[in-house]
Amino acid sequence: MYAADLAHPCQSLDVDCDAVVAARLLAVSSEPFLVLVDSGGEPLGFAHAQEVLRHLLPSSLTAHPGLISLTGPFARAHLARGLSGRRLLDLLPPLTPPLHVTADTEITQVLARLTRTDSPAAVVVDREGARPDIRGIITAQRLLRLLFEERSSSEDGLLDSAAAVLAASRLLVAVSARSLAEVEETLTLLQFRLMVVLGVSGAATMHRLSGLLGVEGRVVRRLVEMLLSSGLVQESERMRDRMEADYVLSPRGLDLVHDVTRRRMEAITRILESMPDEERAALVPVLRAFARAAGEPSAELVAAALGA
């Protein structure tokens, strides 16, 4: 078995990327770090979530935890200002070069080298092209799983499918985070998801939103309150009483959804244009089947509902 066979998809970022974008990606990453690369694609080190979090709050507040509020629009705006206009590199200590191996390195060699370093993972790099291509990472946890787990071929196939979807989802999350940060950097992906759901479903109560989003009612209440205070969501005129209020997108909220969706579509189109025609054509039915399995509305329905 070689390193490429065990490499786990990971998110890599240019070392000079915007700190807000990096923080959003770290918030949804399955790993507590991102791989940093230089302009030529060479891995330079890891950006740990702890280092970014340390710069969100001044030392005067961290010395008195009782003064810290992590919820509410004011808190989110304050945290965003702490990163706005800064590069990710500005938040990090001097980078330590990561352990990196080629795609054809034997797993036994990866295991031996990883145990001799402080690197949280080995970065698997394919150097056959003109530019280094990061295939993924191999963590100590993944090596332990290999040693202790025996899987059937069908389970391996399912895991391979899940890994491929996960890699694609990380790319799409990155596209979403960048598109959202360009329009409204204080808005979270979950808040934007709620706005899209409102745009597709029309007026909805908090109870219905909870079911559509698959999150607890108290979480939905906080999200709606934040969006109300930002003027992106408003109460429907046909509400019966406060407990059963219907909520809809405000005109400003609808414009924001249109703007972010347009930017996201343009970014995805640029990626698709780089694919061969046959692969791009084969991708469409697979993605539609995946969306149906997850209960997502069709692209045509979303476009019609949002007036796109």
Do 146 and 11 share a structural domain? Answer: yes
**pLDDT by residue (tens digit) across 129-148?**
778 888 888 888 888 777 77
Same domain, residue pair 230 and 128: no
Domain that holds residue 253: 187-306
Please report whether residue 160 resides in a domain.
no
The answer as to whether 283 is a domain residue is: yes
Domain boundary residue, one of 123, 150, 177: 150
Last residue of a domain, one of 105, 133, 150: 150
CATH number, residue 246 = 1.10.10.10
Residues 83 and 209 in one domain: no
Same domain, 31 and 139: yes
- Look at residue 158 and tell me if it is in a domain: no
Q: 129 with 46, same domain?
A: yes
Q: Which of 172, 148, 149, 152 is nearest to 160 (CA)?
A: 152
Do 137 and 195 lie in one domain? The reply is no
Q: Which region holds residue 231: left if phi is over 0, alpha if psi is between -120 and 50, else beta?
A: left
Q: Give the model confidence (pLDDT) of 17-71 as tens digits.
A: 877 777 777 777 777 788 888 888 888 888 887 777 766 655 544 444 444 444 4
pTM for the complete prediction? 0.48
Closest C-alpha among 26, 78, 16, 84 to residue 52: 26
Tell me 215's DSSP state: S
- Picking from 102, 127, 150, the residue at the C-terminal end of a domain is 150
Q: What is the predicted pLDDT for the residue at 3?
A: 85
* Token output for 108: 């036994």
pLDDT digits (tens, 9 = 90+) for 222-260: 999 999 999 999 988 765 455 567 888 999 999 999 999
* 144 shares a domain with 9: yes
Answer yes or no: are the C-beta atoms of 268 and 282 closer than 8 Å.
no
Q: Is 119:60 a contact under the CB 8 Å cutoff?
A: no
- Does residue 168 lie within any of the structural domains? no
The single-letter code of the amino acid at 209 is L
Is residue 249 in a domain? yes
**Domain presence at residue 165:** no
Look at residue 224 in the predicted model and tell me its pLDDT.
92
CA separation for the pair 28, 267 (Å, rounded) = 19
Read off the CATH number of the domain in which 90 is found: 3.10.580.10
The reply to whether 145 and 197 lie within a common domain is no
Helix (H) or strand (E) holding 184: none
Provide the domain count of the chain. 2
- Check whether residue 235 and residue 302 sit in a common domain: yes
Q: Which residues pair with 43 in a beta bridge?
A: 37
